[in-house]
């Protein structure tokens, strides 16, 4: 069992986790716009290793509903506490950022807002609508929370119909209580099932290296296929600070390749599987 200690030493990263410096004309253009207009993306604040590649492809990820989360997951570096009041002007600002940056495919994510009756779903809906109004040719993926199992709030997302709706399972069943303290494995599966029955293209992600076994990873993949998830991402967990859950193992590129082949054979439409893969990696390619 994983124990979250006050400080845990970090394992030395293997050579395959080295990140290439972002380059390219499209990346430099987006970089300039972000700096000039002081735009906010989770790509930067999350120090994503694929920022250069994604920006070069015209994809960017935006976080809505503030930057303070009501949950305290053991893997996540987002601040936990009492969030600020909802900003009703945020959807317009995000939509303006998407337009200024010329984003072709926007990925939206958010903190958990268990303090709100609607779980933040109204801001989600207004953000999607605002982006469509200002950038009608931009496609969207919404990486949503579980809304604490309030399916009326989930229905609002289904009604506005983003091109892809994603919800990350994050880890295997056995480790869920340690990794996603306030979440529930089966609740997340039910959410994904309800999205599919609502006509959505669905996607989920799992982090590896937290102490799960190969058999548990395969079981998790089977569970996701059971609820007809279309796209699966598998990536290496990296400890954001010494106070977060430690890395128990660095998964080899060969093992990630094995999971990719297995996932495709199970029926996933796309499987992104590799040490540096994150939820929005190659997001624009999942618009089948």
| Banded pLDDT at 148 (limits 50, 70, 90) | very high
Averaged over 260-270, what is the pLDDT? 98
* Distance in Å from the first CA to the final CA of the chain: 39
User: Torsion angle, CA of 30/32/33/34, rounded to 10 degrees?
Assistant: 80
pLDDT at residue 101 in the model: 83
CATH architecture of 23-286: Alpha-Beta Barrel (3.20)
Tokens of 119: 């779980």
Q: Cα angle vertex 141, ends 88, 267, to 5°?
A: 150
Please, which pLDDT band fits residue 22 given cuts at 50, 70 and 90?
A: low
- Return left, alpha or beta for 139; rule: phi > 0 is left, psi -120 to 50 is alpha, else beta: beta
Closest by CA to 236, choosing from 107, 60, 44, 50, is 50
Give the Cα separation of 23 and 12 in Å (integer): 26
Q: What is the pLDDT of residue 5?
A: 46
Query: What pTM value is reported for the model?
Result: 0.87
With contact defined as beta carbons under 8 Å apart, do 269 and 204 qualify?
A: no
CA 75 to chain centre: 13
Mean pLDDT of 186-203: 98
Query: What are the tokens at 80?
Result: 């936990």
Domain extent listing, the chain:
23-286
Q: What is the pLDDT of residues 223-252, one digit of tens each?
A: 999 999 999 999 999 888 788 888 999 999
The 10s digit of each residue's pLDDT in 85-128 is: 999 999 999 999 899 888 889 999 998 898 999 999 999 999 99
H or E element in which residue 25 lies: helix 25-37
pLDDT at 190 over 70: yes
């Amino acid at each position: 069992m994983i124990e979250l200690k006050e400080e845990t030493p970090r394992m030395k990263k293997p050579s395959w986790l080295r990140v290439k410096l972002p380059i390219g004309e499209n990346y430099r253009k987006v970089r300039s716009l972000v700096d000039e207009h002081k735009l906010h993306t989770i790509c930067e604040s999350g120090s994503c290793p694929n920022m250069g590649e994604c920006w070069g492809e015209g994809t960017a990820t935006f976080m809505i509903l503030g930057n303070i989360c009501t949950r305290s997951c053991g893997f996540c570096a987002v601040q936990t506490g009492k969030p600020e009041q909802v900003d009703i002007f945020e959807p317009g600002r995000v939509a303006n950022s998407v337009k200024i940056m010329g984003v072709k495919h926007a990925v939206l994510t958010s903190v958990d807002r268990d303090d709100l009756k609607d779980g933040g779903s109204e801001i989600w809906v207004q953000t999607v609508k605002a982006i469509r109004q200002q950038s009608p040719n931009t496609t969207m993926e919404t990486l949503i929370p579980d809304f604490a199992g309030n399916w009326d709030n989930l229905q609002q997302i289904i009604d506005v119909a983003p091109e892809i709706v994603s919800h990350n399972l994050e880890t295997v069943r056995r480790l869920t209580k340690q990794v996603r303290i306030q979440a529930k494995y089966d609740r997340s599966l039910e959410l994904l099932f309800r999205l599919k029955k609502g006509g959505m293209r669905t996607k989920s992600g799992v982090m590896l290296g937290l102490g799960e076994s190969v058999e548990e990873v395969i079981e998790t993949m089977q569970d996701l296929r059971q609820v007809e998830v279309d796209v699966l991402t598998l990536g290496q967990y990296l400890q954001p600070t010494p106070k977060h859950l430690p890395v128990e193992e660095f998964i080899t590129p060969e093992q990630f390749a094995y999971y990719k082949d297995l996932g495709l054979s199970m029926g996933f439409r796309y499987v992104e599987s590799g040490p540096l893969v994150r939820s929005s990696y190659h997001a624009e390619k999942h618009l089948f």
